[in-house]
Amino acid sequence: MQQWDAVVVGGGPAGLSCAFWLARYRRAVCVFDTSEPRNEPAWAVHGYPGLAEPTPTGLRNRIRQQARDAGATLTLDAVMSITGRKDDFVLRTAAGEEHRARRVVLAYGLLDRLPDVPGLTALYGRDVHHCADCAGPEAAGRALVVIGHDRAAAAMALYLLHWTDRITLIAHREPLRLEPAARAQLDRHGITVVERRIARLDAGEGGLRAVELETGERIAAEKVFFHLGAEPRSDLHRQLDCRLDHTGCIEVDRGQESSVPGIYAAGDITGRPHLASIAAADGVRAALTVHRSLLPPDVEL
C-alpha cells in the first residue's frame, strides 16, 4: 500500500495548486483526478491574474506540469472511499488500489445542473454561461436571457444590470416562484419576465441569435445565463461526515480544514465565489496548512 503525506482528490486549479505547493515543501503528495473539469466547456478562464484568457485545459496543463516538476504524483483514477483517521487514512480507488495518507484534501468541485433546452449544450461555454462574474464583462450592452424561476435567477438578472439593461427572465419549465417585492424590483428595472417554455436556442455561424418559445415567439438574445444550482462531483465529504453549511458546501476553517481532523477542502465545494483564481488560492492555503500540520512538534516554539 502506497504511503503519502497527503492525497489530493481533484485535479482542477484548487487541487493542482495544492499539490504543487506541497511538492515544493518536499511532501510526498498524489493527486487523483477523473479529468472532468467543471469549466471545460468555457473558451477561456477569465480574469486569472497574470494570464491572458488561458483555456481551461491550458491553465490546468501549466499547473499540472509545475506540480510534476516539483515532485508531485498525478494519477487518473477516482477515489471511491476514505476511511480511517488523521495520520492514517485509507483511500480506495475505482481501479481497486489502496493508498494510505496522513492528510487528505478534497478538491473535486461541483457539477452544474443545466437547463433542459434544445441547442443549449452546443453553446455552453461560448454564448451560454452559469457564472455572471466570469462572463458578465463580455455581455456588456448585449441582449441577455436568464433562465430560472426563483429568487436566485432574479438575483442574477438584477446583477447583470451592471453590464446591460436588455434582460429577459424566462421561467421555462417551472412555475415562477417570486415574492411580490422581488417581482416588483424586476419590473422597476425593466427586466421582462416570461412564464412560458423554451423550444430551442437559435444560433448561426456568428453565435446565439434568439431564444424561441414553444408558442413560436422569438426573444432576441446574444447571451444566455442560468442559475439552477450545482452539486458536488463526489460524495466523499458525506462519507466522512464533514459538516456542511446551509448551502450544502463543506465548512472549513481559515486553514481550509474541515470539521473532520486531517480532512481539508478547497475550491468550489467550499462555497462562493466560484472563480479559478480563488480556487487556486484555496489550494495554496490548504497546502500551507497541511505542511505545517505535518511538522514535528519540537521544531515549533
pLDDT of residue 234: 96
Which residues does 301 contact at the CB level (< 8 Å), separation at least 6? none
pLDDT of residue 242: 98
Range(s) of the chain covered by CATH 3.50.50.60: 2-112+229-299, 120-226
Instruction: Please give the C-alpha separations between residue 156 and each of 51, 151, 183, in angstroms, as whole numbers.
Output: 27, 9, 13
Full-model pTM:
0.92
C-alpha 161/C-alpha 191 separation (Å) is 9
C-alpha 18/C-alpha 175 separation (Å) is 43
pLDDT of residue 44: 84
Nearest to 44 by CA among 131, 104, 119: 131
Per-block mean pLDDT, blocks of 10 residues, the chain (301 long): 95 97 98 87 86 92 97 97 98 97 97 92 92 92 96 96 97 90 96 96 93 96 91 96 95 98 97 93 98 91 70
Q: What is the separation, in whole angstroms, between the first and last Cα of the chain?
A: 35
> What is the assigned CATH class of domain 120-226?
alpha beta
139-166 per-residue burial string, b: 16 or more CB within 10 A, e: under 16: beebbbbbbbbbeebbbbbbebeebbeb
Q: Which superfamily does CATH assign the domain made up of 2-112+229-299 to?
A: FAD/NAD(P)-binding domain (3.50.50.60)
pLDDT of residue 300: 75
pLDDT of residue 297: 87
C-alpha 170/C-alpha 213 separation (Å) is 10
pLDDT of residue 205: 86
Q: Three cell numbers at 1?
A: 500500500
